[in-house]
Structure 1
């Protein structure tokens, strides 16, 4: 989701250099223990929580331990060092690491939409992005995907960062300046977006609809990962995604369990929005278009030199059997 500065990437490269090659373990019938390191506890990652809480991994004979690393770089570093089997974060992290020589790839899709929205205070004129010119806008502290996409949209419409008065705040706190009236426009993730809506703010632009397929968050693994464990993991995740599409109420209930401190109505609204707008994908597959759009953003920002090779970077040997399973 978020993308850190060059120092973090340098540290990530160091972890890779010091890591040892993982050894595939022999397959066994059930209760295979695996660990996934997620960047954050995030509503975007709900498919993972549904797979765990809904018993879909258990049905595949997996005992999954979820760890929260605190950042994308730390989550991927856990995989590179061997302390986790899988990691969950933006695929750009994996692409940058692979470009530097790390033996990591993407094995499954988790978020397939640019999960960022623009909200405004009531009465604010917003017919197009050009209406933000000379306005105070609150957004997440760079580097983060929400602000990066906002800058990208400005550029695509003949504008630049200097055309707005940007207030950068820690992720998740964008609602503060918006509600306080310090800014009348905010670039937001969920659930902050629907927290703002609950306070009378309005959603004026959705990046999921604007950009369509967008590989926003995915599962990464080393090429030496236990293939049996990886196959089971992807299959369990695929079952969870199917379940989410046909059981929205039950999906909302799992989200409320995972985020007990949030208002239940806000959680339900956020889950409904992300299901409706295609943020939560229908399958674990990642299309060439979805990957290309996401990586183009990172190339434009100078974080990535070139597009990764789709046929090898996205591992379909795990994805295709999961799609074929019933």
Structure 2
């Protein structure tokens, strides 16, 4: 009888222990769009890094900065992946519970300059007198685009015909149908256009504009204060993924994130990943650099879109990232 009771108790203990090990904390994550630009995030999911931290990350694509921020502020998501500028807009409106940036994913702009015709020895002054199909007015890609043009001695509204009234999703089709001599495009569209002979990548807005906190993870201040442990676990898994993509070969990375891009071939995923990796778009750690924060504000100010000067410490929590990096 004693042996039977011991066996039963042992079995109950083992089952309970197993169940406890399988219990994961659910974290809802809203991403602004689906992009190979966010490769480390998908690696953290596919390679099980979040799960190993005890997190069950439920990923939703919310398509657009405004929608993503609304989702976060209305408690539709615990964490949002979106441009850092959105947190500035919310803060400037006097939010009682502002969105705080706690980890960086990408550190450059993700767009490329694509020409309709092949251009040998491209120079930015080649754009003068041409028709340039840019990004939507007020968006971060447009702000970076105009900043880069000005840095290269081009006045966007005087030296070329600038088109900015086409919706983001329709820009590629507009260029493919004949609008514009040059266009500002995200990947993988730029690479696909090259493969199809529609356009030719001649330069990168990311390398031209310098380091900025282009895409970051943010959470409401109340969530950060209430659930710091979850934020730390999330950041630890992200940091592991950021290191992983720098160590693994391109084919391995492409295969890891392929399930998130059903309509993109493995070969294109690999090419796009290499392009972003080689130009330093993927942040190698979650720490958001203070100089990059103010550089972003300078770009926004140049475009007339900066609502107010905002101190780095007001909207950036660096303590979590520093703790994870120093572990």
Q: Give TM-score scaled by structure 1 length.
A: 0.84
Alignment pair present for 1:139 and 2:127: no
Rounded Cα–Cα distance in structure 2 between residues aligned with 1:211 and 1:182 = 25
Shifted more, 294-303 versus 187-196: the winner is 294-303
1:110 to 105, 113, 125: 105
What is the aligned partner in structure 2 of residue 306 from structure 1? 308
**Residue 113 of structure 1 aligns to a residue in which SS?**
coil
1:295–1:307 contact (8 Å) kept in structure 2: yes
2:117–2:200 contact (8 Å) kept in structure 1: yes
What is the aligned partner in structure 2 of residue 54 from structure 1? 47
Cα deviation code 1:241-285 (max 9, x no counterpart): 111111132221133221111233222111110111111111111
What is the aligned partner in structure 1 of residue 230 from structure 2? 229
Alignment pair present for 1:148 and 2:178: no
What is the aligned partner in structure 1 of residue 77 from structure 2? 84
Q: How does 1:61-210 map to 2 (within 5 A)?
A: 61-102=54-95, 103-124=98-119, 127-156=122-151, 157-168=153-164, 169-200=166-197, 201-210=199-208
**Residue 110 of structure 1 aligns to a residue in which SS?**
strand
Rounded Cα–Cα distance in structure 1 between residues aligned with 2:48 and 2:142 = 36
Q: 1:235 and 1:272, CA in 2 relative to 1: closer, same or farther beyond 3 A?
A: same
Shifted more, 31-40 versus 151-160: the winner is 151-160
The alpha carbon displacement at 1:172 in A equals 4.5
The alpha carbon displacement at 1:147 in A equals 2.4
1:117–1:203 contact (8 Å) kept in structure 2: yes
What is the aligned partner in structure 2 of residue 42 from structure 1? 35
The alpha carbon displacement at 1:85 in A equals 0.9
2:107–2:212 contact (8 Å) kept in structure 1: yes
1:38–1:72 contact (8 Å) kept in structure 2: no
Q: Pairwise CA RMSD of aligned residues?
A: 2.1
1:37–1:66 contact (8 Å) kept in structure 2: yes
2:30–2:79 contact (8 Å) kept in structure 1: yes
